Amino acid sequence: MKKVLFFIDTLGHGGAEKVLVNLVNRLDRDKYDITLMTIFDEGVNRKYLYDDIKYKYIFKNVFRGNVMFFKLFTPKWLYKHFVRERYDLVVSYLEGNTTRILSGCPFTDTKKLAWVHIEMDEKTRFYPYRSKKECKACYDKFDRIVCVSNTVKDSFVYQLGELKGLCVKYNTVDSDHIKKCAEEKTEDINFDPECINIISVGRLIEQKSYKRLLSVLKNLIYKGFNVKLYIIGEGSQRNMLERYIASNDLSDKAFLIGFKDNPWKYVSKADLFVCSSRSEGFSTAVTEALILGVPVVTTRCSGMTEMLGENNEYGIITKNNEDSLQKGIEYILSDKELLKSYAQKAAIRGERFKASETVKAVEKMMDEVMS
């Protein structure tokens, strides 16, 4: 049995955290002795981790300036003092601190994997490192660098070059669990059968561009579309979005319903899923919408063409601006048969992302690396 460590900052309510829990829960226990370690013992996804997965953390709570704190020390020092143990395989499941720390693993027989979930950019992705040069040096110590989409891989190559072991593996989404949870009733929300109910799932942060989506909603209503918008998630922009809703008379049309343990029971009952993000890696929320057979309109960002097709075969991809997003939503809402057709296509596409297939691909890669 191989001893494997998965390492991530927290088990918060982000997509990567949810996907990691899905993955480790499904890995073969006869082949792997699995430990999941976090830097900070925080996050709603902790409770979904199966009991037979060993769990460790470094600090109880997130503290201000933690990135600068880690940069004070070398990766080798950080591994020695915080990870300590020898594993057959160590896996950094998110960019940044965990990748830098695991690159300092001193055991020459330990294999290393690093996951990249989002497009690299100069402003944010190199911040946990002392320099871009150090970032490249850290990644160069990994046996495989796993990108969640081809777009993410292209971005990585553009910034850091064609490093060894670059590959693409799609996220693990527990489709059976999602479909089962989707059957639950939504007693706290009554979707209006007389209008088109639009839904989105994501953190209330700038990256998700929910102010842009609210502006689109306002314009749709002005043009005579009978629509309501429900946004599932929490984040730093809640107060700003609440003010926007109030000042634009959208209180009976737009609803911030907060974080939900079971977002799928809401998504499954909506008429349309919209992703308004400025950037994504490989959107878990869009993947889940497809699994539930809900039509999707999204801005163009990483992974969307791999999910929805190069020519909008399984959903509608718009340019990444407000006007194009609005036109895409108008297009699908103007034809009930088109909306129905995209619901059927979404369900077909959702079959591609069954957990059994994605887990099998990851296990095969892990075995190859450790062989």
Token readout for 46 is 């902790």
pLDDT score for 123: 65
CB 299 within 8 A of CB 277: yes
Looking at the chain, the whole-number percentage of residues with pLDDT higher than 90 is 79
The 8-class DSSP code of residue 353 comes to G
Give dist(CA 84, CA 79) in Å, integer: 6
Tell me which range, 99-103, 146-150, 155-159, is most confidently predicted by mean pLDDT.
99-103
Instruction: Give me the pLDDT at residue 174, please.
Output: 83
Q: What mean pLDDT, rounded, does the chain reach?
A: 93
Q: What would be the CATH architecture of the domain defined by 176-353?
A: 3-Layer(aba) Sandwich (3.40)
Backbone angles phi, psi at 230, to 5 degrees: -120, 125
Q: Given this model, what pLDDT does residue 15 score?
A: 79
CB 297 within 8 A of CB 316: yes
CB proximity list for 351: less than 8 A, separation 6 or greater = none
pLDDT, residue 354, reads: 76
Strand (E) positions, 154-300?
Answer: 166-168, 196-201, 227-232, 254-258, 272-275, 296-299
From residue 333, give the alpha-carbon distance in Å to each of 77, 220, 297, 341. Answer: 56, 10, 10, 12
pLDDT score recorded for residue 115: 96
pLDDT at residue 188 greater than cutoff 90: no
Q: What is the pLDDT of residue 10?
A: 95
pLDDT of residue 126: 84
Q: Which two tokens stand for residue 239?
A: 């107060």
pTM over 0.85: no
- DSSP string for residues in 123-162: TTTTTTSS-HHHHHHHHTT-SEEEESSHHHHHHHHHHH--
User: For residue range 168-187, what is the model confidence (pLDDT) as tens digits?
Assistant: 988 888 888 899 999 999 98
Q: What pLDDT is attached to residue 122? A: 67
Tokens 């599932």 belong to: 232
* Sole residue written with tokens 């799609």: 170
Model pLDDT, residue 262: 93
pLDDT, residue 280, reads 86
Superfamily of domain 2-169: Glycogen Phosphorylase B; (3.40.50.2000)
pLDDT of residue 120: 78
What was the pLDDT predicted at 124? Answer: 64
Domain ranges of the chain: 2-169, 176-353
pLDDT tens, 37-52? 999 998 888 998 999 9
Contact between 241 and 214 (Cβ < 8 Å) = yes
Domain 2-169 and domain 176-353, same fold? Reply is yes
